[in-house]
Structure 1
Amino acid sequence: MKGLPRRDTSELDVSFSLLFSDPSSAANHVRIALENLLTELRIKRFNSSNGKRKYLNLHQRIDLLPTKFDHVKELFYAVKWLGNAGSHSHQELTFDDVFDAYEIISQILEEVYDDRRKKVASMAKKINKRKGPR
């Protein structure tokens, strides 16, 4: 995928390496990759008031996504919940849970970094305008 920063993929690499030994930690690293993605998208990490920084939690940061990402916000929340379960829950996550997180973050990354949808829409528009091949 063009333009995908190494910072986003490095946490996923760690997650993959942990999958079979510690699925909960693997899910947590997917969550960290999501946090890094938000930082890459320039979503602020904290608010400042009276000279004090108050860090925003992941849910608050997802809420700050621009409207152009409204179609994937639910995906961001789902990865957050799976990552939280890996970090804070007393319930052990299964491989299937982590694979769900992988599938969802894969779609998020595709929506954010791959302009295929725009290319296909542009192609269809040209074909429709000409009422035939481009």
Structure 2
Amino acid sequence: MDWEGIPRKWSSNGKSYNLSLHRRIERFKTAKPTFSKAADLLLAVKWIGNVGSHGSVIRVLDVLDAVDILDRIIQQLYDTSPARIERKAEEIIARKGLPASHITSLPMPPF
């Protein structure tokens, strides 16, 4: 939610309140209606996480469901085309894993 610009806090009458993840996902859905399906998927993952954090037992199958759902969310929100992912891998290999901000000049891989 941070990456998508959904605030963690809400202010009213000079007081500041923390927003729950649930509320932040709801705000994301309202702020970015084109991603409303992704917001619904995020709520499903949030519920699985709640059970894992606050419940007594979480099944491996539930965790695997969450991974499948997260994969779909990433596909909906971000470009995950094979060509883009391969280009990212080439860039990471070229800089030997160092963050791009630490590299002054980086040779461009051939395309």
TM (normalized to structure 2)? 0.65
Aligned length: 78
5+ residue gaps in structure 2? Answer: 82-111
* Corresponding residue of 1:68: 34
Q: Higher relative CO (CA 8 A, sep ≥ 6), structure 1 or 2? A: 1
1:111 partnered with 2:76 = yes
Q: Indicate which of 30, 53, 59 corresponds to 1:94.
A: 59
Residue matched to 2:7: 44
Q: Per-residue displacement from partner, 1:40-86 (whole Å, max 9, x unpaired)?
A: 00011111122221011111111111111112222011000000001
Identity of aligned residues (%): 40
Unaligned runs of 5+ in 1: 1-37, 117-134
> Following TM superposition, where does structure 1 have runs of at least 4 consecutive aligned residues deviating by more than 2 angstroms?
none
TM-score normalized with structure 1 length: 0.54
Return the structure number with greater helix share.
1
- Are the aligned partners of 2:48 and 2:62 in contact in 1 as well (CA < 8 Å)? yes
- Does residue 1:81 correspond to 2:47, yes or no? yes
Distance in 2 (CA, whole Å) between partners of 1:63 and 1:83 is 17
* In structure 2, C-alpha distance between the alignment counterparts of 1:73 and 1:93, rounded to whole Å: 22
Greater gyration radius: 2
Q: Over the residues paired in the alignment, what is the CA RMSD in angstroms?
A: 1.4
